[in-house]
Each structure stands twice: as structure tokens, then as C-alpha cells.
Amino acid sequence: MGLLDDVVNQVKSQMGSAASGAHPDLVSNVVQMLGGAGGLSGLVQQFQQGGLGHIVQSWVANGQNMPITAQQVQQVLGNPQIQALASKLGISPQAVSQQLTQVLPHIVDRLTPGGQLPTGDALGAAAAALKKLI
């Protein structure tokens, strides 16, 4: 089993136990979001610009992941991105923000197993492969 299989299985497993009721397509939609402009580096930059760089860095680094609140997710990603995800999934923006508190740390953590952001080419390949698996 490769790293991408591991990412999908662990995140979905976490969603099942730690966030029961999470939308089953949320992980694939987050991966699509990360595969777009900016990718994982762009997400990290959004957190840094939103004053939450220390939280996202805990997800990238080895060790314990710091928690995030739904309000912080909303603050960093912004209403348009949350609304777009909610629309795609057919759930409320509040539900998306809440579910992302469980999903984002695990996805970022699993995509940065060495405690560092992957290079652009590696991230693009990883995101493309991950999309095919979900």
C-alpha cells in the first residue's frame, strides 16, 4: 500500500470514528481543492496570512497536530470557498466548516510525512494520484 492509499484510508477512517456523520465526498473535494491553484503550499500560505501559521505548521511537522475550530476554518478559507464546498456536497456551510476541522489536519499531516511540504511537482503528482483513488 502506497502513501496515497494510506492517506485516503486513514482520513476516511478518522472521519468514521472522530467525525461521525461527515459527508463521504468531503475528502475527495478537499483533495481537488489542494490540487488546484496554490495546492498544499497555497493552503499553508492562507493559514499563515490568516494568523494561524502555527496551527498548519503543526500539521506539517512531525508530532501532535494542533486542533482548529470551525470559526478558524471559515476565517482562513473564506466564505466563497466554504460556500462552494457546501454547494457541491449539498450540506450547510457550517457543517462543511465543522467537518473540515477533522479532515484538514489529517490530510495535511499525511501529505507531509517527512515534516516538510513536498515540492511542486511531487505535490501535483500526489494530488492527481490521490484523486484517482477516491
pLDDT for 20-34, tens place per residue?
556 777 877 787 777
Kindly indicate the confidence band of residue 100, based on its pLDDT and cuts at 50, 70 and 90: very high
CATH topology of domain 3-133: Arc Repressor Mutant, subunit A (1.10.10)
pLDDT digits (tens, 9 = 90+) for 44-73: 999 999 999 999 999 999 989 999 999 999
Domain map (residue ranges) of the chain: 3-133
Average pLDDT, the chain: 79
Structure confidence at residue 22 (pLDDT): 64
d(CA 7, CA 27): 10
With contact defined as beta carbons under 8 Å apart, do 29 and 89 qualify?
yes
pTM of the model: 0.75
